[in-house]
Amino acid sequence: MDSVEQATLEIKQRVQELTQILQKASYQYYVLDAPTIADAVYDRFYHELQDLETRYPELISPDSPTQRVGERPASQFTSVKHNVPLYSLENAFGNDDLTAWEQRWRKVEPDITRSKYVCELKIDGSALALTYQNGLLVRGATRGDGVTGEEITQNVRAIRSIPLRLTLDNPPAVVEVRGEAFLPLDSFEQINREREQAGEALFANPRNAAAGTLRQLDARIVAQRKLDFYAYTLHIQNDESKKIRLSSQWEALEFLQKVGFRVNPERQLCPTIQDVHAYCDHWSIARTQLRYLTDGVVVKLNSFDLQERLGFTQKFPRWAIALKYPAEEAPTIVENISVNVGRTGAITPVAELRPVQLAGTTVSRATLHNRDRIAELDIRIGDTAIVRKAGEIIPEVVRVLPELRPAGAVPYPMPTHCPECGEALVKPDDEAVTRCINTSCPAILRGALTHWASRDAMDINGVGEKLVLQLVDQGLVHSVGDLYELTIEQLLTLERMGKKSAEKILQAIQESKKQPWSRVLYGLGIRHVGSVNAQVLTQSFPSVEQLAQATSATIAQVYGIGSEIAQSVHQWFQNHANQILIERLRSAGLQLVGDEETAPKAQTAITGKTFVVTGTLPTLKRDEAKALIQKAGGKVTDSVSKKTDYVVVGDDAGSKLEKARSLEISLLSEAELLQLLTAES
């Protein structure tokens, strides 16, 4: 073997080695919740593999970790027929229904004296069918009508908890795996925060968000939204040699976890129907503490032999049933319908309700999303409406009761002109949202100023909604640039404004000039650019000039930034008024260039560790603590989970502290955090 052949062989072996290392690390992180290598180490291996595959594309394998997210968005989805139909389940609504179900199947098989049941939480997400050929993922499809679904393989590959290859040395020819894709609550809340920050309509609940995510044409958006997946059944085909022998549902779940899937850890093997009752009763209350939403329990007979003997009715399998928990709903009166004008000009109709208690809180307003939703509901002022908290989070109107409608109630007409500035409203063909496009609209200006001064943006203490309202109404401020030219004399003309307060506000405005380039970009309020996207963009474009001069295609190449975000950013910087604003901010002394000092240093013991900060700290603001952690290479999230390494606790910590204790997560005081950061820096 000559030197060239030897080098080629070594490169091929290194690619295989890196692929195996990264696949194992992903399994340990996403399936077992037990990471074995730090994120920074994973990233180094990943980039090494990516570099080798770029230089030697013939070595790229379909199961390479670099192939999870396609570079090109799909143009459309095609319909595919499922190899094995996805059946619906009969519903039960209480323990009596479960007992009646047991009695029915026992009449079909009267000789069965004892049987076991497997109980699994019914995840509120979207069912997927995954096809593996010789152990390799070749197709992912939505449930559709159970017989035919949509082929979304590119998006399925972007879900980290779905293995690209089964961890089997000698896999069957074809394996069909079924499971539920879902959005964890912390991911759902983060997405909605991002959408709110970017001026987009909020998702009503995690189920709709998951379904909408799976139908994105750009798989990079799917990867960014961090869908999760629990497998719950499988079908093995073309296995003449019977390589895999599974006799029960419980064995199947254990096998699925062994070959690389996440399986719901709350599953339980129940000897009797009374044990099933106890399981369902327990989770009817305990489900509120889960990291995802569940709307019931799926109960299956454990024995595959018994399942086969029982077979199916015309609609359902006889050997399984779904207990559905009732959604908490309440009737109330629609006292008015109003519209809000957001900072991007989005017109959002809102139902103003007679206050009603729902899921432990008082609800008096519920979003109606857009004109299409109003038409679908046919909602009118005076109607009796059924309200629920969508996903137990956001109040929504489920339906109205037309039989209780008062005489004379008329359909609600969406306004044709902006209620704030009077300009004609526009509804783009490709959007469901109606917008005011007058950049001088007071509502848009107020929203832009409030967003600019918000804690996650420039964090200007004292510049809140009330002050912004006065500044705009009195014509003192017409853009965020005007804030940096305010004088104490101007502020003293405002209501209830004393000299000391005015001086503090001007000082806070001056202090905001120290905020980093990522916060400035986020504060500009560009559509679709939330705080996370702003950080991603500023890492790739360390100065405003670089970002302003970049094409939309160049911006879209940044991992996690889709074409829609890229086009929005590019268009914003092409606007002449925005170019003038950037120059004004530059002249005012704001940070439009990244600070290298804010980048993480060399790897430390907390590099890649996940922190949650909760409660009021003695000397640090939460954002200051988060910045220190991030600067040292750590991660900061808002929700406590099994993946959290440390929870930094201040006064009045609340439920996050309780959850951290229940999960036995390490707790740190502010002093201990500072000591840890100092020791590891």
Q: Which of 116, 122, 609, 635 is catalytic?
A: 122
DSSP strands (E only) in 59-107:
78-81, 91-92
**Is position 631 annotated in a ligand binding site?**
no
Q: Which CATH number fits domain 517-598: 3.90.1150.10, 3.40.50.300, 1.10.150.20, 3.90.180.10?
A: 1.10.150.20
Strand 126-133 and strand 329-341: pairing?
unpaired
pLDDT of residue 578: 92
- Residue 327 banded pLDDT, cuts 50, 70, 90: low
Q: pLDDT per residue over 81-92, tens digit each?
A: 888 888 888 889
CB neighbour class for 351 (10 Å; exposed up to 12, middle 13-18, buried from 19): buried
Band the pLDDT of 73: cuts 50, 70, 90. very low
* Residue range 168-185, pLDDT digits in tens: 888 888 999 999 999 998
Residue 134 has pLDDT above 50, yes or no: yes
Alpha helix (H) residue ranges in 524-666: 531-540, 544-549, 552-556, 563-574, 576-588, 622-631, 655-662
Mark whether 122 is an active-site residue: yes
pTM, full prediction:
0.51
For residue range 182-228, what is the model confidence (pLDDT) as tens digits? Answer: 999 888 888 888 777 776 777 777 888 888 888 887 788 888 888 99
Residues of CATH 1.10.287.610 domain(s) within the chain?
1-59
Portion of the chain with pLDDT greater than 90, in percent: 44
Write the CATH number of the domain with boundaries 1-59. Answer: 1.10.287.610
pLDDT score for 189: 84
pLDDT digits (tens, 9 = 90+) for 613-660: 888 787 777 767 777 787 677 777 777 888 888 999 887 777 788 788
Indicate the helix (H) or strand (E) that contains 672: helix 670-680
The residue among 236 and 393 whose pLDDT is bigger is 236
42 has binding-site annotation: yes
pLDDT of residue 260: 92
Q: What is the pLDDT of residue 570?
A: 94
Calculate the dihedral angle through the C-alpha atoms of 528, 529, 530, 533, rounding to the nearest 10 degrees.
Answer: 120
pLDDT digits (tens, 9 = 90+) for 497-555: 999 999 999 999 999 999 999 999 999 999 888 887 888 799 889 999 999 999 999 99
Mean pLDDT value across residues 239-267: 87
Residues 435-486 have pLDDT tens digits of 898 878 999 999 999 999 998 899 999 999 899 999 999 999 999 999 999 9
Burial class (CB in 10 A: 0-12, 13-18, 19+), 655: exposed
Provide the pLDDT for residue 483: 96
Residue 38: which pLDDT band, with cuts at 50, 70 and 90? low
For 649-668, give the secondary structure using H, E and C.
Answer: ECECCCHHHHHHHHCCCEEE
What whole-number distance in Å separates Cα of residue 273 and Cα of residue 150?
37
Give Dmax (Cα) for the chain: 92
Task: Output 508 or 608, whichever has higher pLDDT.
Answer: 508
Please list, in sequence order, all residues whose beta carbon lies within 8 angstroms of the beta carbon of residue 251, skipping any fewer than 6 positions away. none
Give me the amino acid identity at 462.
Answer: G
Higher pLDDT, 673 or 513: 513
Query: CA-to-CA distance for 189 and 191, rounded, in angstroms?
Result: 5
Higher pLDDT, 609 or 478: 478
Q: Any binding-site annotation on 215?
A: no
- Burial state string for 102-116 with b = 16 or more CB within 10 A and e = fewer than 16: beebeeeeeeeeebb
Select the more confidently predicted residue: 23 or 378: 378
- What average pLDDT does this structure show over 102-111? 90
Please tell me the CATH code under which domain 90-322 is placed: 3.30.470.30
Average pLDDT of the chain?
A: 85
Query: CATH 2.40.50.140 region(s) of the chain?
Result: 329-426
- Cα gap 676→629, rounded to integer Å: 10
Asked whether residue 180 is marked as a ligand-binding residue, the answer is yes
- Length of the chain measured in residues: 681
The reported pLDDT for the residue numbered 205 is 76
Domain with CATH 3.30.470.30 in the chain: 90-322
Query: What CATH number labels 442-513?
Result: 1.10.150.20
Alpha-carbon gap, residue 148 to 151, rounded angstroms: 9
**Under CATH, what is the fold of the domain 329-426?**
OB fold (Dihydrolipoamide Acetyltransferase, E2P) (2.40.50)
CA separation for the pair 270, 238 (Å, rounded):
32
pLDDT-derived band at 121, boundaries 50, 70, 90: very high
- pLDDT tens digit sequence for 550-578: 999 999 887 667 788 899 999 999 989 89
**Percent of the chain beyond pLDDT 70?**
89
Helix (H, G, I), strand (E, B) or coil at 294: strand
Any binding-site annotation on 89?
yes
Give the residue with greater pLDDT, 634 vs 593: 593
Q: Is 272 a residue whose pLDDT tops 50?
A: yes
Strand partners, 317: 312
43 is in an annotated binding site: yes
Place domain 610-678 in its CATH homologous superfamily.
BRCT domain (3.40.50.10190)
Quick count: other Cβ atoms within 10 Å of Cβ 590? 22
pLDDT (0 to 100) of residue 74:
45
Query: Which residues contact residue 274 at a Cβ distance below 8 angstroms, ignoring those fewer than 6 apart?
Result: none
User: Is 143 annotated as contributing to ligand binding?
Assistant: yes
Residues of the chain with CATH 1.10.150.20: 442-513, 517-598
Question: What confidence score (pLDDT) does residue 70 get?
Answer: 47
Q: Is 88 known to sit in a ligand binding site? A: yes
Query: What pLDDT sits at residue 502?
Result: 94
Quick one: average pLDDT of 398-404?
A: 91
- The answer to whether the annotation marks 64 as part of a ligand binding site is no
> In the structure, what pLDDT confidence band is assigned to residue 681 with cuts at 50, 70 and 90?
very low
Residue 652 assigned to a binding site? no
In the numeric block, the tokens 């299956």 are attached to: 300
Give the DSSP letter string of 22-46.
HHHHHIIIIISS---S-HHHHHHHH
Q: What is the pLDDT averaged over residues 306-335?
A: 86
- Show the DSSP H helices in 454-498 as ranges: 465-473, 480-483, 488-491
Average pLDDT over residues 155-161: 91
Residue 42, pLDDT score: 65
Asked if residue 441 belongs to a known ligand binding site, the reply is yes
- b/e string for 500-533 if b means 16 or more Cβ within 10 A? eebeebbebbeebeebbbbbbbbbbbbbbbbbbb
